[in-house]
Amino acid sequence: MKSHETLPLVPLVRGEGIWLEDADGRRFIDGISAWWVNLFGHCNPRINDAIGEQLETLEHAMLAGFTHRPVVELSERLSALTGGALGHAFYASDGASATEIALKMSMHAWRNQGETGKSRFVSLAGSYHGETVGALAVTDVALFRDAYAPLVRSGHTVPSPDARAAEAGESAEEVAERAARALARHLEHHHHEIAALIVEPLVQGASGMVMYHPHYLRRARELCDQYDVYLIADEIAVGCGRTGTFFACEQAGIWPDFLCLSKGISGGYLPLSLVLTRDAIFDCFYHDDLTRGFLHSHSYTGNPLACRAALATLDIFAADDVLTANRGRAAWLGEHASAAFAGHPAVRHLRQQGMILAFDVDTDQADFSTRFFSAALDAGALLRPLGNTVYFMPPYIVEEDDIARLVGAARRALDTALGGA
């Protein structure tokens, strides 16, 4: 609140494609997809039309004793994208709620199987899975967690497979294996009390776009199977094509027991989240005893408008062969960013995973993030660093000249921010 006394809020009045416009007529390229949610541009006509059509038939319905076509069709299409491995969906409205659902469901499933001691969770160092009280138990970002520590039931933390931690001569895969061995040691000693391991596959977002090798996911799947621990994949930020495949887990050739989706699934239009899970998990709750059922609900669960936006989003993926086209976009992003930043004296760890690119800035400026954000706005781009990590996560409609303009604005913002030290 105090920072906005010197850095005023930006009053946005419209959006179109990759552009946002404020009340003074200034235009900004949305380089972070409005906090990672906007996949196909602002006011996308195909998603607009789908929501408008849905408005004419059914705007909302409770899913207690009722259902509707958009939520059934969306569930079936998402299950099909997993090859049927995850055959059931439970809906909510935001990412933290999806995390809560996966945590509660994993613990309750073990309890229904007579494993009452398995009620704790393991997450990676630097993990972020939301800021509700349950989600904070698996969020290892001190800023968010420590203020509410008296409310939080702490979990277990294991080393991150962060590729930046490579020792001399060590590959990203070897870093992943080193972290997996630490996970193995932890599960060997604590598996009797652990319900699930939760990970952000391939990229840990809020802790600074930490990227790691898919080998870790394969080893995590093996270890969870070995020690009877469920695996939760938080694909809230990295799903829907961000890492190069629709689900990040695909790059490791594995499926989790629970997969959380939100953010981009509705194209950035409406709050929607869900958890996909296996038939075996569903079967744990299928019983006449109400206390064995999964006890969780949201008023806007499976909202028809949000589900219709999600269906339109999936339609665009299919019709435009987006994942193939994104390989070209990712190559442009990598080429332009490398040309602009690879030789910069303050840039460290330039890295990329699909349509996510990031680098760390070597500076002792306590307010670097604010300086860069403000300078980027002046240069015509919305880019909002995570601490000293600058990242790009643009919508999937950017062309090469858009990327060149975005990267150029970022380079000017970096020099301005550092020059103002």
Check: CB of residue 211 under 8 Å from CB of residue 203: yes
pLDDT at 420: 55
pLDDT tens digits, 92-137: 999 999 999 999 999 999 999 999 999 999 999 999 999 999 999 9
Check: CB of residue 356 under 8 Å from CB of residue 392: yes
- Residue 247: strand pairing partners: none
Check: CB of residue 263 under 8 Å from CB of residue 237: yes
Residues 6+ apart with CB under 8 A from 328: none
pLDDT tens digits, 203-229: 999 999 999 999 999 999 999 999 999
Residue with tokens 């706005």, as numbered in its chain: 377
By CB atoms closer than 10 A (0-12, 13-18, 19+), residue 207 is buried
- Residue 263 and residue 234: Cα distance in Å, rounded? 11
pLDDT at residue 4 is higher than 90: no
Closest CA to 329 of 355, 297, 368: 355
| Gyration radius of the chain's alpha carbons | 21
The mean pLDDT value of the chain amounts to: 96
The arithmetic mean of pLDDT across residues 187-213, rounded, is: 97
pLDDT tens digits, 306-357: 999 999 999 999 999 999 999 999 999 999 999 999 999 999 999 999 999 9
- pLDDT above 70 coverage of the chain, percent: 100
Residues 6+ apart with CB under 8 A from 250: none
The DSSP call for residue 386 is B
Q: Is the pTM of this model over 0.85?
A: yes
What domains can you pick out in the chain, each with its CATH number?
3-30+322-419 (3.90.1150.10), 49-319 (3.40.640.10)
